[in-house]
Amino acid sequence: MITKYQSFQQLFKRLATFHPGRRLLSARYQSSINVENLHAEQVHMEQHDLAEKPRILVTGSLGQLGTGLARVLREKYGTENLIMTDIIRPPKEVIESGPYRYADILDFKNLQELVVNCRIDWLIHFSALLSAIGEANIPLAMRVNIEGLHNVLELSRQYDLKLFVPSTIGAFGKTSPRNPTPDLTIQRPRTIYGVSKVHAELMGEYYHHRFGLDFRSLRFPGIISADTPPGGGTTDYACQVFWDALTTGRHECYLRPDTRLPMMYIDDCLRSVVEFMEVPDEQLKLRTYNIHAMSFTPEEIVEEVRKYVPHLEVKYKPDSRQEIADSWPMVFDDANARRDWNWNHEYDLSGLVKVMIEHLAKRFDKPLSMKQHHY
Ligand SMILES: NC(=O)c1ccc[n+]([C@@H]2O[C@H](COP(=O)([O-])OP(=O)(O)OC[C@H]3O[C@@H](n4cnc5c(N)ncnc54)[C@H](O)[C@@H]3O)[C@@H](O)[C@H]2O)c1
Ligand SMILES: C[C@@H](O)[C@H](N)C(=O)O
């Protein structure tokens, strides 16, 4: 009856390798004793498995990164396979774009129910309080960033989920080498955000070694996007400057003009998550990798924006975010990501400015003039 596969074990092994919910299959096949039915079942399971894509739950999906990631993942894995969650009342377009559920990262039972009822295979954990907003509400940041992480780690262990938790340039501090900052070095951040991210990196690595959890993390630079506004970080100025350039023509920057930080355009960031989640486990030498694209100062990005908006006026008025920025990497060393899973960015500073200006010009209905693209 078993034609292509020599034995029951061989068939089970093959099916188990390409099914994301390995435990379910293993339970099903271990308890199956009707060898007569195996051939029919094999054909059925293979068809099913080839068509099957991972079912993914994204926490904190209405933030700067989540909405775009949901769009990208839905294109790749199917609309119904991606469940967006957050504690925010969703706008109409989100409700119309696919499944959305309320999920507070502090409510373990509710998350558990979602994982079970929606048959989740991958969990992408985006809920967090970012660096500046975290300093403004440390008790809440500890709950969301640390207790929240404990919940997703436990859920992922119990249900054998592949877990992605982003880390950040903020996971380093003044005592880390800052130009460039390698993957493995001193990490003594001085923000609750950074401390919670180092905790996440270490806990994920621990769960990986202790329980075999497929934990993956990328340390993102500051992410720049035109769709959803950033959520209270230290790198937000690099998004705001575009809005201001195309609306008021005036920008007040809360960092000194020479503050150098690593940055990345959102399309590169979202692509990195998709590519990284698909890398075979045995190819990964680390559970957390730095990824880099470009590095610039406020005065450098302003100079580039002025190529499109020459009348842009900028004032510099450093505030408490300056101290945070001064403790972060200036340039990320991402050689390991490039070597182990072929990470590569597409957007440099001029590419970033061009695409941001094009997006926002459309949004604010300001057509690009032919002459040097100036407004
Ligand atoms: N944006 C960046 O520049 C950047 C850079 C490095 C790393 N990251 C990381 O990427 C992830 C996403 O960042 P983002 O920029 O989209 O952040 P964001 O602040 O824009 O979004 C975070 C989301 O978490 C949600 N949230 C807050 N409390 C919650 C709770 N109790 N339960 C469930 N959800 C809750 C918020 O409603 C929000 O939608 C974060 O982990 C962040 O640390 C972001
Ligand atoms: C860098 C990143 O983690 C976030 N944008 C912040 O500034 O807090």
Task: Write out pLDDT tens, residues 228-280.
Answer: 888 899 999 999 999 999 999 999 999 999 999 999 999 999 999 999 999 99
Going by CA atoms, what residue is nearest to atom 1 of ligand 2?
222
Q: Give the atom of ligand 2 at the shortest distance from the alpha carbon of 134.
A: 8
Would you please indicate which residues are annotated as catalytic (active-site) residues?
193
| Percentages of the chain per state (helix, strand, coil), in multiples of 5 | 50, 15, 40
Rounded average pLDDT over 87-116: 98
Q: How far is the CA of 60 from the centre of ligand 1 (A)?
A: 6
Q: Domain spans of the chain?
A: 12-51, 128-363
Which residue from 159, 155, 183, 158 is spatially nearest to 169, judged by alpha carbons?
183
Can you tell me the distance from the alpha carbon of 289 to that of 347, in angstroms, rounded to the nearest whole number? 19
Burial class (CB in 10 A: 0-12, 13-18, 19+), 220: buried
Tens of pLDDT, residue by residue over 56-98, are 999 999 999 999 999 999 999 999 999 999 999 999 999 999 9
Q: Which one, of 258, 243, 244, 255, lies nearest residue 313 by Cα?
A: 244
C-alpha of 316 from chain center? 30
Q: Ligand 2 pocket: which of 135, 137, 169 to mutate (most atoms <8 Å of CB)?
A: 169
Instruction: State if residue 239 touches ligand 2 by the CB under 6 angstroms criterion.
Output: no
Q: Give strand pairing partners of 253.
A: 316
Mean pLDDT, residues 311-319 taken together: 98
The DSSP call for residue 306 is T
374 pLDDT above the threshold of 70: no
| Environment class of 87 (CB within 10 Å of its CB; exposed 0-12, middle 13-18, buried 19+) | middle
ipTM of the complex: 0.99
Q: Is any ligand 1 atom within 6 A of the Cβ of residue 176? A: no
Cβ of 134 closer than 6 Å to ligand 2, yes or no, is no
Domain 128-363 -> CATH class: alpha beta
Q: What per-residue confidence (pLDDT) applies to 52?
A: 83
Which ligand lies nearest the alpha carbon of 219?
Answer: 1
CA of residue 372 to ligand 2 center, whole Å: 33
Radius of gyration of the chain from Cα atoms? Answer: 23
Q: Say whether 65 sits in a helix, a strand or coil.
A: coil
1 pLDDT exceeds 70?
no
**Which bound ligand lies closest to the C-alpha atom of 328?**
2
Residue 358 CA to ligand 1 center (angstroms) comes to 26
Residue 41, phi then psi, degrees to nearest 5: -65, -35
Residue type for 347, please? Y
Cβ(144) to ligand 1 under 6 A?
Answer: yes
Q: Is 20 in the pocket of ligand 1 (CB under 6 A)?
A: no
Q: What is the pTM of this model?
A: 0.88
Q: Is 18 left (phi over 0), alpha (psi -120 to 50) or beta?
A: alpha
Q: Which of 98, 54, 46 is nearest to 76 (CA)?
A: 54
Q: What is the pLDDT, as a whole number, of residue 33?
A: 35
